[in-house]
Structure 1
Amino acid sequence: MHQDQSCDMEKTQICTYLITGGSGYFGFRLACSLHGKGAKVILFDMRQPSLDVPEGIVFLKGDICDYVQVEKAVTGVDCVFHTASYGMSGREQLNRTLIEEVNVQGTKHVIRACVEAGVSRLVYTSTFNVVFGGQVIECGDESLPYLPLHLHPDHYSRTKSLAEMAVMKACGAELTNGTGELRTCALRPAGIYGPGEQRHLPRIVGYIEQGIFRFVYGNPRSLVEFVHVDNLVLAHELAADALAPEKQHRSAGQVYFISDGRPVNNFEFFRPLVEGLGYTFPKLRLPVSLIYFVAFLTEMIHHLIGPIYNFQPLLTRTEVYKTGVTHYFSIAKARAELGYEPQVYNLEEVVQWFKSRGHGRKPSGSRLQRLILDAVILSALMALVLSCLPVVGS
């Protein structure tokens, strides 16, 4: 019997999992959950986890862009969770070369290594972005086609599409050692949140504390989705189990949208965080078109001076779309095929996490000073736009 056939978590034989990008927020949380259920877990990443690694979890330093290192990492593994990626947000979105190397070439390395090392299960962490490029989507499902590659507004989304396509195409590939086939599936999560998240939430809190978060934008009725990190962990564990023979490889060749299942306005979602830290939620609302144009100009400026000064853009075009345009998806397929039932969470634990690290409102200026700052920010945005408009009669 192949080792994968007796790796169900409820069975006595211990299953070994490899998590690429295992030092990241989600990858590490997944590792701790699997470890807590008795599995052997290997973290594969270029950097050491920021938190203490529990005894029994193995950290293996390696580069996903180096095939030899990837092949070595997957040897003897039963299932791979491929969570590693690059270029999701901020200035990382503008590093096209590294995005291509990690997201596309790195994924090809993982697939090839699984086939050659006889790993029969591969779960890929994808993204909503493979079908979304700024268009309104209401309760979309997995029947939606991939967004045409040339319509993606950023390199990250385009390369994640290419990577997911490669993972899906690899489903059913014969393993080199003759023990069976590679079974693959992909999960498309919403924006991840939870205490200790280090990519998006600290940036948002930084904007709040610096006084930059003085306005919101878009239609107040626009809806997006988020997923708590522990719900996403649950979805990955269920997807991996459903790839096994005991579950008739139910998830093989399938993609699933994963979220908390509660569409919400992006800015209203973060209201408890803003107010929980003692700040006033902004009342000024600007049109998405204005913010998108400013983001476009910022990206152009970064393209010109980035090699000299790699500054952090306030927002990129993709981030404007993702936060200001309605797009949410049904999780009915994940519920029906995986048994996925997301738990209800809120931002209270996130607020407490930041407070425990010294964040929160400090004494500030008067209401008049705040109004003046709002006016200055708005004037600067308008001046930036007007400076780029053609002069009449020129």
Structure 2
Amino acid sequence: MAIVEEGKEFEMCVVFGGRGFIGKPLVDRLLRLGNWIVRIADSFPTIQLEPSESLLSHALSSGRASYFHVDVRHKSNIITAIDGASVVFYMDARDSYGHDFYISYTIVVQGAKNIIAACQECKVKRLLYNSSADVVLNSWQDINGGDESLPYSSKFVNMVTDLKAQAEALVLVANDADGLLTCALRPSYAFGPGDNYLSSLLVGVAKSGWGKFIIGLGDNMTDFTYVENVAYAHICADKALNSRGSHVCGKAFFITNLKPMKFKDFVSLVFQRLGYQRSIIKIPDMVTQYVTLIIKWTVSRMSNWSTENVPVFDIIELALCHRKFNCSAAQKYIGYSPVVSLEEGVAVTAKSSQLTRESSFSSYSDTDEESKVHKLLGGGKVAEILLWRDEQRTFTCFLLLVFIHYWFFLSGRSFLSSLSQLLLMIAVALWGYSILPPTIYGISVPRISWSFFEISEVDMRNCFYNVAYMWNRVSHLAKLLAQGEDWHIFLKAAIPLYVLKLVISDCLTFALGVALALAFTSFLIYEQYEDEIDSTANVIFSILKVAFTLLMRRLPLPQALLYSDSEIGSSRLNIKQ
């Protein structure tokens, strides 16, 4: 119904799910057009506006927008909201229901039936339903350039998609009944600000540590659609539907960003924008597929759990299959073309998203905060070298240590002879350096000052203090061991000493070589996979702690403790007497 206000003609529309993922940008775009009076219908009791929704706030205060609390399971609520409207947009939000089949059916399928009946009763002219490209997908089946001629799936990827296919069929069949024109849009993997499905799945995978893996070759092509383009497509479809074109009425159209992308490239782009680690390790696709099928079969056998509760399976299937759709019909018949590019959409999603990483990977994020291992190494030159902050300096130090290891342990000489030869070489080199002329072919030779070879009094004092402290600690530990009063100290001292004895007597050279290699690799690896290593270490530590506690319970109590307990008992007996 057209409404004339202040000499300007407005048309009234209703957006069901107007506070949902796709409903919000659709409402915003309708208000920006300036010729719509928008009714927002949603299941929330009241509307809660965000600070960025100034346009909607102004429209609500001026009367160009209004809010209705509607439960689509009740037809009477729907009639109240759509009375007098000429267009209804049904944005069936995926996050408005859970995994309960009955609730999902009443909202998706029965809700669509109620909206269709209410539109026919209220003489609404046009009804547009937001469906999904998943309605034509068979589980683990590739689609390369599929168009609207594809039939509905015979094996839906999940329960929700099955119900959406039923709702879409109901809407399309209702076309031209009682003057109602209908159309359905099938966006392919919509994402954007407020996305609680695709982006949440990817972030969940990244947080679990599996985001570093690329399943298969990662070259399968997939169509993703930015949410603003989906909202724009609905407006284009309404204009085409208003012209009563035979190619639009009662038809469904695939909506994409017209730019298929390799799944691994899209995931890497999202991870990079959100501050997560990029995928770097490949896993064979056949192995992943078989393991997933086995897990799904096992899960399906559980009485109170279904594969609907394992959303990561959707990501695995998406990573293994081609999902590319032909969007030429939407371009030709409803005049659709993307208004926001894929890269810009990912950037806007990451900027406005609450899913960005809270504790970033130090080498993949832009933050300057020190990592845990950098603080553990003291945050000085040693940390900079072992964490490869300066590759040239680190590689130079590594080669120097390799030379020292070879000189003292692999050359076949004794330690004293190797040390004496090294000191002799250093003395000869310093003497040769001292007799060099001040300039050689115009290049000045810097001199080494005597202060370079001096050790300050403060450094010497600190050195002796440290030696004295260590000596006192060892002396105190030896005294405790000699008294035999503490099994904890005995085990802490005996086990490392025995391991050190084995290392020194049998494989000292090999152990030092391994330690040298690990020093320049393990810290860097730990910094990259800090969360995963910490969680694994916590599990192992908990197991060892329990085992150590059981061991200590089986050991006899120290004699001194037994003697002290007997003295306390006798003293208490004397007091009572």
TM range (shorter): 0.7 to 0.9
CA distance in structure 1 between the aligned counterparts of 2:175 and 2:308, rounded to whole angstroms? 41
Superposed CA deviations along residues 226-274 of structure 1, whole A, max 9, x for unmatched, are: 11111111110000111114x6465211111000011112231021221
1:21 pairs, out of 17, 21, 34, with: 17
1:353 counterpart residue number:
352
Q: Give 1:157-306 correspondences, 5 Å limit.
A: 157-174=161-178, 181-245=179-243, 248=245, 251-286=248-283, 287=285, 288-290=288-290, 292-293=292-293, 296=296, 299-300=299-300, 304=304
1:336 counterpart residue number:
332
CA distance in structure 2 between the aligned counterparts of 1:260 and 1:102, rounded to whole angstroms? 29
More helix by share: 2
Identify the structure with bigger relative contact order (alpha carbons < 8 Å, sequence gap 6+).
Answer: 1
RMSD: 3.2
2:68 pairs, out of 60, 71, 78, with: 60
Superposed CA deviations along residues 62-92 of structure 1, whole A, max 9, x for unmatched, are: 111111111221111110011124469xx93
Normalising by the residue count of structure 1, what TM-score does the alignment of the two structures yield?
A: 0.80
CA distance in structure 1 between the aligned counterparts of 2:281 and 2:218, rounded to whole angstroms? 12
Which of structures 1 and 2 has the bigger CA Rg?
A: 2
1:153 counterpart residue number:
157
Q: Which moved more, 1:72-81 or 1:346-355?
A: 346-355
Superposed CA deviations along residues 90-115 of structure 1, whole A, max 9, x for unmatched, are: x93x3222221111111111101100
CA distance in structure 2 between the aligned counterparts of 1:40 and 1:295, rounded to whole angstroms? 50
Once the two structures are aligned, what percentage of the paired residues are identical?
23
Structure 2 unaligned residues grouped into runs of 5+: 60-64, 362-370, 374-522, 537-577
Q: Which moved more, 1:138-147 or 1:205-214?
A: 205-214
Structure 1 unaligned residues grouped into runs of 5+: 175-180, 378-394
Q: Are the counterparts in 2 of residues 138 and 327 from structure 1 also a CA contact under 8 Å?
A: yes
User: What secondary structure, in the 3-state scheme, does the structure 2 residue paired with 1:124 have?
Assistant: strand
Shift of 1:367: 4.2
1:35 aligns with 2:31: yes
Q: 1:197 to 1:21 in 2, by over 3 A?
A: same
CA distance in structure 2 between the aligned counterparts of 1:360 and 1:261, rounded to whole angstroms? 35
1:129 pairs, out of 134, 154, 176, with: 134
User: What secondary structure, in the 3-state scheme, does the structure 1 residue paired with 2:9 have?
Assistant: coil
User: What secondary structure, in the 3-state scheme, does the structure 1 residue paired with 2:211 have?
Assistant: coil
CA distance in structure 1 between the aligned counterparts of 2:311 and 2:196, rounded to whole angstroms? 17
Normalising by the residue count of structure 2, what TM-score does the alignment of the two structures yield?
A: 0.56
Q: Tell me how many residue pairs correspond in the alignment.
A: 354
1:111 counterpart residue number:
116
1:380 counterpart residue number:
none
CA distance in structure 2 between the aligned counterparts of 1:138 and 1:364, rounded to whole angstroms? 46
